[in-house]
Amino acid sequence: MNYVYKYAVLFVFSIILGLAFNMFLLPHEVLTGGVTGLAMVFGLLSPINPGIWLVVLNIPILIIGWMKLGKEFIWNSIFSVFITSMTMQYTPIFQLTDDALLSAVFGGVIAGIAVGFIIRFYGSTGGFDVIGLVLTLKKDIPLGGLIFSLNSVVVFISGFVFSWDQALYTMASIYITGIVIDRVHTRHIKLNLMVITNRGEELKSELIKNLIRGITVMDGQGGYSNTERKVLYTVISRYELAIVKSLIKSVDPKAFVSISETVEVIGNFRR
């Protein structure tokens, strides 16, 4: 059922992404960033559909992703790219509004939501998404901001190919997309977790078994009650918070839990 749910999410948001291109961005020749943007440029300049260009240009980048991010990620990405490509190819390009700025804004928001959920479920739309994810393995950089930086080259291409008005609309669109991606995809956010509990060994065992995280265990004493307790400390990703809260509640509902956002993690942290 987990696989069915995951592929259902990837399927739905891949369609939404294709519709965002055909309904908001392509009608006004407002491009998107990276390889997808280049596919849209080539599609507008040639008789070949942008969906076909999207597949062709993504092949070498998906090979890099296979080597760095694993087989499951690449299969999910291929599935997502294929659905997006088919959506772009078999749905008409329809101009929903005459206002290019509105199209850039709403197209950017919808594309950002779609891309964010696709990445959250361990897939990608290919292109610079893959390159960005490979780079975030080395350092906790906000993915949306990184993708925006990488994709900015398309702004200059669209400026020379079409007009600088369209280039600025493109910049607005990919900037909004990057912001929305970071609101949906929050893996780069790391949290400090401190738990004070009477069931230290049991809780430590459950956390290690389910999180694959190192945990520091300290002896603590209540300042008022003088009761001896265990203090567990670790750092987790934002995605793991729901699992952690459920585990703590099941093992020790009376545990004292402190969760705070960390600025940076240096050392042996599994990303």
Averaged pLDDT, 114-121:
88
Q: Is the pLDDT of residue 161 over 70?
A: no
Contacts of 31 (CB under 8 A, 6+ apart): 25, 37, 40, 41, 154, 158, 166, 170, 173
Whether residues 158 and 228 share a domain: the answer is no
Is residue 136 one of the residues assigned to a domain?
yes
pLDDT band, residue 152 (cuts 50/70/90): confident
Averaged pLDDT, 239-253:
86
pLDDT band, residue 63 (cuts 50/70/90): confident
pTM of the full structure: 0.72
Whether residues 93 and 72 share a domain: the answer is yes
Is residue 39 one of the residues assigned to a domain?
yes
Residue where the block lists tokens 């070949």:
48
Is residue 30 one of the residues assigned to a domain?
yes
Is residue 267 one of the residues assigned to a domain?
no
Averaged pLDDT, 28-37:
70
Whether residues 32 and 105 share a domain: the answer is yes
Q: What tokens appear for 18 in the block? A: 């294709």
> What pLDDT is attached to residue 32?
60
H or E stretch at 233: strand 228-237
Whether residues 33 and 160 share a domain: the answer is yes
Whether residues 138 and 199 share a domain: the answer is no
Structural domain including 118 reads 2-184
> What pLDDT is attached to residue 209?
86
Whether residues 39 and 137 share a domain: the answer is yes
CATH assignment of the domain containing 210: 3.30.70.120
> What pLDDT is attached to residue 145?
76
- Choosing from 149, 168, 184, the residue where a domain stops is 184
Whether residues 116 and 81 share a domain: the answer is yes
Whether residues 198 and 121 share a domain: the answer is no
Mean pLDDT is lowest, of 48-57, 144-153, 235-244, 262-271, for 262-271
User: DSSP letter string over 3-33?
Assistant: HHHHHHHHHHHHHHHHHHIIIIIGGGT---S
> What pLDDT is attached to residue 271?
61
Number of domains in the chain: 2
Whether residues 16 and 128 share a domain: the answer is yes
**Spatial CA neighbour of 184 closest among 142, 148, 241:** 142
Among residues of the chain, what percentage have pLDDT more than 70?
Answer: 94
Averaged pLDDT, 39-50:
78
99-117 b/e (C-beta count within 10 Å ≥ 16 → b): ebeebbbbbbbbbbbbbbb
- Choosing from 184, 213, 247, the residue where a domain stops is 184
Give the C-alpha separation, 81 to 97, whole Å.
26
Whether residues 174 and 220 share a domain: the answer is no
Q: What is the mean pLDDT of the chain?
A: 83
Whether residues 27 and 107 share a domain: the answer is yes
Whether residues 200 and 180 share a domain: the answer is no
Q: Is the pLDDT of residue 233 over 90?
A: yes
Is residue 268 one of the residues assigned to a domain?
no
pLDDT digits (tens, 9 = 90+) for 81-95: 889 989 988 888 888
**Spatial CA neighbour of 196 closest among 168, 164, 223:** 223
